Amino acid sequence: MICDLTAQIDIREAARIVGTLPEVIDFEGERIVTTWTRTNFGGRRQWFLCPSCDRRCAIIYRRGNGPLWCCRVCGGGRYLSEGRSSKSRALHKAFKVRERLGQKKGGIIAPFPAKPKGMHNSTYERIRFEALQVERDILVEDMASFLCVSVDDVPHIVARQRQRGRY
Ligand SMILES: [Zn+2]
């Protein structure tokens, strides 16, 4: 399923048009259930529950079989831009930086390489700081796609989980 080309409903856009959605929607003969979570700012946010896996998701996609509507994960959804995404470029850049510092393998999951002999501390710290920011963005993007949320939501989710001592 190519997300960009698949019929979809974004609950945030739907809410903008019709206001709050009911808890159960009968849509084209299929029951779609919504649920609420609290936001960090005292508000609340409505989600679809994927009819296939029950996961909370902001967008459901219309696929050809099974439960008709499903989340991106159940639909095996990919984006058109994924082949040469900003993410793959960022990942490439991140590897290059680590290579320059002497790392041979392990990608960005490996511990960040130590300062090479002869490099100034300040140079190393600058490279390290910039590299870790790039790497953080990549991981956030991965996490967003794993959780079926937008990249902007990840910091809130991580903060919430951290409060509960999960990460
Ligand atoms: Zn699903």
Q: How many residues would you count in the chain?
A: 167
Domain span at residue 27 reads 3-70
Task: Indicate if 92 and 149 belong to the same structural domain.
Answer: yes
Q: Are 71 and 148 in contact (CB under 8 A)?
A: yes
Cα(48) to centroid(ligand 1), Å: 10
Cα(51) to centroid(ligand 1), Å: 7
Nearest to 143 by CA among 154, 134, 152, 133: 154
Digit-coded pLDDT (tens) for 107-152: 888 889 999 999 999 999 999 998 888 888 888 877 787 777 777 7
Q: How far apart are CA 134 and CA 157, in angstroms?
A: 20
Cα(43) to centroid(ligand 1), Å: 25
Cα(104) to centroid(ligand 1), Å: 38
- Asked whether residue 75 is assigned to any structural domain, the reply reads no
- Asked whether residue 140 is assigned to any structural domain, the reply reads yes
Contacts within 8 Å (CB) and 24+ apart, 95-103: 97/127, 97/130, 97/131, 97/134, 98/131, 100/127, 101/127
Task: Indicate if 101 and 138 belong to the same structural domain.
Answer: yes
Confidence check: pLDDT of 23 > 60:
yes
Q: What predicted TM-score, i.e. pTM, was given to this entire model?
A: 0.49
